[in-house]
Amino acid sequence: MTPDARNMTDLFYGAINKHDTGELLRHFHPGAVLVTPVGVAEGAAEIAWLYEHIFVAFPDLTFTPWHQMLPGDPVFTEWTMNGTHTGPLWLPDGDTLEGTGRRITVRGCAAYALEDGLIVTHRVYFDQLELYAQLGCELSPGRS
């Protein structure tokens, strides 16, 4: 990983762990797109809203990056996210899961496309079933 990319990811995860949305947004290009398992955010306002929502749902949320690589572009980071679910969590279907008080530990990864040292595309991947099972949700097969 280049020093600039490593520095960016260190600062980026530092901002997440401080829950500092303003600092976090400084790492995104104004027209950036954030793609997550729960939805897509386009531009600074939507990206800020998504992170602020997560910080309310998990007020002690931290990310621990444990592997980073940059063979070119994009940058990849594998991480573990830990936190306690005490606030409302927006679900992909539009419903809300109220705080459960449960601790989570979820492994995931992210890919970042950079332009002039700023994130233009941030794609986040994690196992939603792993997260929702830790929150006490039950799998219910849909009807066809």
Write the CATH number for 100: 3.10.450.50
Whether residue 139 lies inside any domain: the answer is: no
Cβ pair 30, 45 in contact under 8 A: no
For residue 128, pLDDT over 50 is answered with yes
Find the domain containing 53 and state its range.
3-134
Q: Give the total number of structural domains in the chain.
A: 1
Cβ neighbours for 78, distance < 8 A, ≥ 6 positions apart: 65, 66, 67, 68, 107, 108, 109
pTM equals 0.88
Task: Give the pLDDT confidence of 58-67 residue by residue, as tens digits.
Answer: 999 999 999 8
For residue 1, pLDDT over 90 is answered with no
Mean pLDDT of the chain: 91
